[in-house]
Amino acid sequence: MNPLRVRIWRGAEAGSFSEYEVPREESQTVLDVVTYVQRKLDSSLAYRFACRVGMCGSCAMTVNGVSRWTCRTHVAKVAEDGRLEIGPLHNLPVIRDLVTDMREFFDKWARAKGQFSGTRTRHEEFERVAPESEERKKVDAGIECIGCGVCYSACDVVSWNPEYLGPAALNRAWTLDQDARDAGKLDRLRAVSGDAGCHSCHTHMSCTERCPKQISPTAGIAGLKRAVIKAALKGEL
């Protein structure tokens, strides 16, 4: 197989792509390519990874302009004419090379009140949630988020409106809204309403298209919009 020609972003916000030649391997992932460059060609390359098996959410980058998790993205699926262009995620400040500053991404989870707010103590019985209940099924559909930031990077609304909480934070808020045990629903609905919240979503569905865990933040955001309408009609908002 011909070697891959790989362009990788070097620098911070200001920088440029550098080109490397990487040997092609069977079942090679984009993370394998980046790791090869860092270990064999240029040890100054900065990038993040941890688990390598699609669990930790730390290796997300843009590959040929598209936000992806790189540990589970096969080169054979994304290389165009034996070429790859690998850059940092969009919509986040670049610290160096392929490493972005994720603080704003996670701060927005906190702003969306992404914390579970229970009512029982450890001395009480567990609350029982029926697996077949509608709410539990909705939680299941959104709960597997690994916080990789791919949806946030792919979202047009985030790039146009920096205040927008983004798909991952809103998806988190939705799973808590549907959690029968949670006691902070109304405060959370207020936190995710309005210009920075679910009402700014244009339903482009880039988040749903790109989520590596096949979650549909768009569906959760639509659910939040419905929940806000109900609360507003009851005069609770």
What residues make contact with another protein under the rule CB under 8 A? 157, 160-161, 190, 193-195, 197, 199-200, 225, 228-229, 232, 237
- Could you tell me if 32 and 24 are in contact, meaning their C-beta atoms sit under 8 angstroms apart? no
CA distance 222 to 56: 27
> Which residue reads 């070097």 in tokens?
10
Q: How many CB atoms lie within 10 A of CB 235?
A: 6
Least Å from the CB of residue 191 to another protein: 8
**Angle, helix 217-233 to helix 134-142, in steps of 10 degrees:** 140
Task: Measure the CA–CA gap between 99 and 12, rounded to whole angstroms.
Answer: 9
Nearest approach, Cβ of 199 to another protein (angstroms)? Answer: 4
Measure the CA–CA gap between 171 and 234, rounded to whole angstroms. 24
- Of 73 and 193, nearer to another protein (C-beta) is 193
User: Among residues 5 and 190, whose Cβ is nearest to another protein?
Assistant: 190
Within its chain, how far is the Cα of 32 from the centroid? 21
The C-alpha atoms of residue 26 and residue 88 are separated, in whole angstroms, by 25
Distance CA 18, CA 173 (A): 40
Q: Find the shortest distance in angstroms from Cβ 183 to another protein.
A: 20
Tell me the closest approach of the beta carbon of residue 137 to another protein, in angstroms: 26
Query: Which of residues 116 and 160 has its CB atom nearest to another protein in the complex?
Result: 160
Q: Which is nearer to another protein, 131 or 235 (CB)?
A: 235
Q: Which is nearer to another protein, 76 or 186 (CB)?
A: 186
In the complex, least distance from residue 203 CB atom to another protein, rounded to whole angstroms: 12
